[in-house]
A and B are shown apart, each in its own frame.
Chain A
Amino acid sequence: MPLRFHSLDSDRVVVSNLVGEHLVLARAEFDEVVSAGTPSPETLSTMRARHMIRLPDETLPVELLAMKLRTQKRRLADMTSLHMFVVTLRCEHTCRYCQVSRQGTERGEYDMSQDTAEAALRHVFASPSPQLKIEFQGGESLLNFELIRWIVERAEEINELERRDLAFVIATNLALIDDEMLDFCEAHRIVLSTSLDGPEDLHDHNRRRPGQDSWQRAVDGIERVRDRLGTDYVSALMTTTEESLERPEAIIDSYVDLGLTGIFLRPISPYGFALRLRGGGQYDAKRWLEFYKRGLAHIIELNRAGTPITEIYAAIIAKKMFSNNDPAYVDLTSPAGIGIGGIVYNYDGSIYASDEGRMLAESDDQTFKLGTVDDSWTDIMSSNRLLSPLWESYTLSSPGCDQCAFEPWCGSDPTFHHATMGDFAGHKTFSAFCTRNMGIFTHLVELADSDPYARDLLWTWGQR
């Protein structure tokens, strides 16, 4: 049956099947397998169990593979579930890595209007997805809370007939949250997603605002939301900058101190302003990988010592390694998640295939602009502006990816490759996306192979 492999080091090889079940073999043993020699009975037995080989007339393994693949790709038929509304570009922060926000401007010019929001909601409900998540972004989204309130109420009104599984998230720095907003969030079960870069000095260095109190306000905000709405209603995201690279443990500990049970060790994105020298983005994927590995090691030790905390990127990949469930993470899926997984309605009514695509537009690259809210859903979804990047970047037909043992766990990121290489598929040998992910995949495989505790932990993360 179809299988692919990748050398871990001189002695070991990881083999994977069509749906991402994998097995680590000693190289000599692997050579026996691929040269039709005499592998050990244990190897043959495991390879049969993991649907890598079969007897010539066996049909069940093929049926099961098909079933697993179908399960993994099931959400494709549902179409877009994540709908991001950029309700304003205004922000009171001047973060060093920020790509889009506008400071000190008056209400109006950079705010989404009610008419635009109404038209965008028509798109949201035109998507056939049974699950709909509306995520409010900025700028600082709370600066246009009036519109958020209107959109939530209007969406709920529409949903009385539509009966979708409708959820709301506000991405916010929490600096401006007040009791009235909390009341509203509580009444409508809105999740708040905030930014927290780590310890106070690091966070405030990255995330500047008048008074230099961004960290304190974020921390207070997290506690307030948790007290009012419960732990499940607040999560934090961190962005890695040059200054973070030496401090993964301190960053993670700052999350633990706040009682947060998940941290997403994210690389900085190479888009928009961050590509310029404004700060923090000038490090390569290799250094980021070192940071990631150190951080993950710390997280595993914390768990081993009884403090449960999940690294969310590893958990997403573990889900693909150890189950057929789709983690529904738009940045690691193939076909890509642009447009068909998540879509962005900008403040001015333009529609982008991804958040990164919107940021590219800020530096005058309109490649991922699919149209405006005045176009029809069908036109947006069937336009070549969306379909070309989707099919050109599809991993099973991308050079490099098609042969890659990690293809079932990986995804395609046409926005990234377009931004960095001018090509939707990208040249994977030189792609930071590929270096980063391949580095993480091999690292996770080696961890699971060498440390039973880490393997059990990854397994557990993968089953959630």
Chain B
Amino acid sequence: MIPLRGRSTTTGWTQPRTDIWQIARPDDPRVSERALLLDDDGRTRDGAGLYISKDQFLSGPGPTVHVPDELGHLAPGDVVVVSDDGTRVNVAWKATATHNSILLTERCDHYCLMCSQPPKDGDDSYLYGRAKRIISALPFAAKAVSLTGGEPTIDPHAFLDLLEHIAATRPNLSTHILSNGRRFSDKAFTTEYASVAIEDMMVGIPLYAADPSLHDYIVQSEDAFNTSVKGILNLVAAGAGVEIRVVIQKANVAQLSELARYITRNLPFVNQVVLMGLEMTGLARPNTDLVWVDPHDYRRELREAYHLLSSAGIYTRIYNHQLCVVDRELWPAAVQSISDWKNDYPDLCQPCSVKDQCSGVFSTSGSRLSPNLRPIVDVEMSS
């Protein structure tokens, strides 16, 4: 688990020209536009736009933010957001992380029972602009980004504008969008989306049940299923990549195989299907009684859905599942999917022989874990 935000203090503060800073190496020729980290003895070089110190007393030869110990992991290649008064630092990009996501909005037209990022209604349109600045500040080595919300397409123009910005500045940045898919039911929008010249772009769209009313219940929104499926059809027709995301929860476990059949029969052309475990945070917590189900108890359903999909030639992955509660024949499909910054292994995992291959648990899920986690001691896995 990696903390991503902290309170900071400042020295020599003058409001900097931007809130987004890439942490550069000292030999970076564009150091005036970037931030430099002070080394342990407080050494650095002149000319940086901002100095970041992990020590409360050492400062650089210009405006300096002193970050708390939690942010001691900051390193060149990371991108941080610094509030105008220098009292808050958020990590927008972790160079060493496999998953980096950018939040585009907290607004959403769904209100899913198990939403881990509960929607908020206020005007947060500044986030799209900030996302553009983060893209501009990304280190050269950045490979993949995930655009999340809320619903990233809630402002269609700002969304497309951001994609055009990525296409113009980082066309090789593999871009994954987590959307409820409804906006794509608009053909004109989808055509415009599909024409954006980003090399590798995919939308992950949730489908929770094959029965429209069950899906609509889970996402707490009318006509959601029909609209999202139309979105998927439009995307495929426009030649765009689509992933279907199924979060397995109490309400849909019994109908998981029906959904798998539905996908093979109606949407066999999607690029992949992801069967996901719950992250017990956000709305999932107050709704625990409505959503929680122990993965150990749905092993059969998971196996069946996986087989239905993969035997039909649909590339199927399993996210957020601990190996010890998944059938062994499904292990090759189980991906270490939990972002580094919220990934944890409870103490009981210590003796486990497959820990290196296991996704572990969401630190954000707190104590809401399967009571059936058991270290695996009889397998030698090659890593």
Query: When chains A and B are docked, how far (Å) is the Cα of A64 from the Cα of B212?
Result: 14
Tell me if A376 counts as interface (CB < 8 A to partner B): no
Query: When chains A and B are docked, how far (Å) is the Cα of A64 from the Cα of B267?
Result: 9
CB of A324 within 8 A of CB of B226, answer no
CB of B313 within 8 A of CB of A463, answer yes
CB of B226 within 8 A of CB of A49, answer no
Asked, given contacts A21-B265, A68-B265, A323-B264, whether A463 binds B212 with beta carbons under 8 Å apart, the answer is no
Q: Which of B80-88, B171-179, B304-312, B336-344 touches A?
A: B304-312
CB of B230 within 8 A of CB of A49, answer no
Query: When chains A and B are docked, how far (Å) is the Cα of A46 from the Cα of B209?
Result: 10
Residues from chain A with a CB closer than 8 A to the CB of B369 are none
CB of A49 within 8 A of CB of B308, answer no
Residues from chain A with a CB closer than 8 A to the CB of B213 are 45, 48
CB of A324 within 8 A of CB of B311, answer no
Report the nearest A residue to B259, measured CB to CB: A49
Provide the A23-63 mask, 1 if CB < 8 A to any CB of B, else 0.
00000000000000000000001101110000100111001
Query: When chains A and B are docked, how far (Å) is the Cα of A301 from the Cα of B229?
Result: 40
Query: When chains A and B are docked, how far (Å) is the Cα of A337 from the Cα of B308?
Result: 30
Residues from chain B with a CB closer than 8 A to the CB of A21 are 265
Residues from chain B with a CB closer than 8 A to the CB of A323 are 264-265, 268, 312
Of B211, B266, B307, which is within 8 A of A64 by CB?
Answer: B266
CB of B312 within 8 A of CB of A463, answer yes
Q: Count residues of B near A (Cβ-Cβ below 8 Å).
A: 24
Q: Which of B306-343 contact A (CB under 8 A)?
A: 307-308, 311-313
Asked, given contacts A58-B226, A64-B266, whether A49 binds B311 with beta carbons under 8 Å apart, the answer is no
Tell me if A388 counts as interface (CB < 8 A to partner B): no
Interface SS of chain A: helix, strand, loop or mixed? helix
CB of A459 within 8 A of CB of B266, answer no
Query: When chains A and B are docked, how far (Å) is the Cα of A55 from the Cα of B213?
Result: 10
Query: When chains A and B are docked, how far (Å) is the Cα of A456 from the Cα of B262?
Result: 16
Interface SS of chain B: helix, strand, loop or mixed? helix
Query: When chains A and B are docked, how far (Å) is the Cα of A278 from the Cα of B255?
Result: 56
CB of B262 within 8 A of CB of A49, answer yes
Q: Which of B257-306 contact A (CB under 8 A)?
A: 258-259, 261-262, 264-266, 268
Report the nearest B residue to A60, measured CB to CB: B226
Query: When chains A and B are docked, how far (Å) is the Cα of A358 from the Cα of B280?
Result: 69
Tell me if B158 counts as interface (CB < 8 A to partner A): no
Our count of residue pairs bridging A and B at CB distance below 8 angstroms stands at 53
Report the nearest A residue to B267, measured CB to CB: A64
Residues from chain A with a CB closer than 8 A to the CB of B311 are 459-460, 463
Provide the B223-260 mask, 1 if CB < 8 A to any CB of A, else 0.
00010011001000000000000000000000100110
Tell me if B352 counts as interface (CB < 8 A to partner A): no
Residues from chain A with a CB closer than 8 A to the CB of B266 are 64, 67-68
Tell me if B95 counts as interface (CB < 8 A to partner A): no
Report the nearest A residue to B262, measured CB to CB: A49
Tell me if B214 counts as interface (CB < 8 A to partner A): yes
* Min CB–CB distance B36 → chain A (angstroms): 55
Residues from chain A with a CB closer than 8 A to the CB of B313 are 463
Residues from chain A with a CB closer than 8 A to the CB of B258 are 45-46, 49
* Min CB–CB distance A156 → chain B (angstroms): 31
Of B255, B261, B308, which is within 8 A of A45 by CB?
Answer: B255
Residues from chain A with a CB closer than 8 A to the CB of B259 are 49
Of A46, A68, A460, which is within 8 A of B211 by CB?
Answer: A46
Query: When chains A and B are docked, how far (Å) is the Cα of A50 from the Cα of B210?
Result: 8
Provide the A63-78 mask, 1 if CB < 8 A to any CB of B, else 0.
1100110000000000
* Min CB–CB distance A456 → chain B (angstroms): 7
Asked, given contacts A463-B311, A463-B313, whether A45 binds B211 with beta carbons under 8 Å apart, the answer is yes
Asked, given contacts A456-B307, A463-B313, whether A48 binds B212 with beta carbons under 8 Å apart, the answer is yes
Residues from chain A with a CB closer than 8 A to the CB of B209 are 49
CB of A49 within 8 A of CB of B210, answer yes
Report the nearest B residue to A461, measured CB to CB: B311
CB of B211 within 8 A of CB of A324, answer no
Residues from chain B with a CB closer than 8 A to the CB of A50 are 262
Query: When chains A and B are docked, how far (Å) is the Cα of A460 from the Cα of B229?
Result: 26
Report the nearest A residue to B258, measured CB to CB: A49
Residues from chain A with a CB closer than 8 A to the CB of B230 are 60, 63
Report the nearest A residue to B314, measured CB to CB: A463
Report the nearest A residue to B230, measured CB to CB: A60
Residues from chain A with a CB closer than 8 A to the CB of B211 are 45-46, 48-49
Query: When chains A and B are docked, how far (Å) is the Cα of A358 from the Cα of B268?
Result: 40
By CB atoms of chain B within 10 A, which of A45, A58, A324, A459 has the most?
A45
| Listed A/B pairs (20) with beta-carbon separation below 8 Å | A21-B265, A45-B213, A45-B214, A48-B213, A49-B262, A50-B262, A60-B226, A63-B230, A64-B266, A67-B233, A67-B266, A68-B265, A68-B266, A322-B261, A322-B264, A323-B264, A323-B268, A456-B307, A459-B311, A463-B264
Given contacts A21-B265, A49-B262, A459-B308, 16 further A-B contacts (CB under 8 A): A45-B211, A45-B214, A49-B211, A49-B255, A49-B261, A55-B212, A58-B226, A60-B230, A64-B266, A67-B233, A68-B266, A324-B268, A459-B311, A463-B264, A463-B311, A463-B313
> What 5 A-B pairs come out closest when comparing CB atoms?
A49-B210, A45-B211, A60-B226, A463-B312, A460-B311
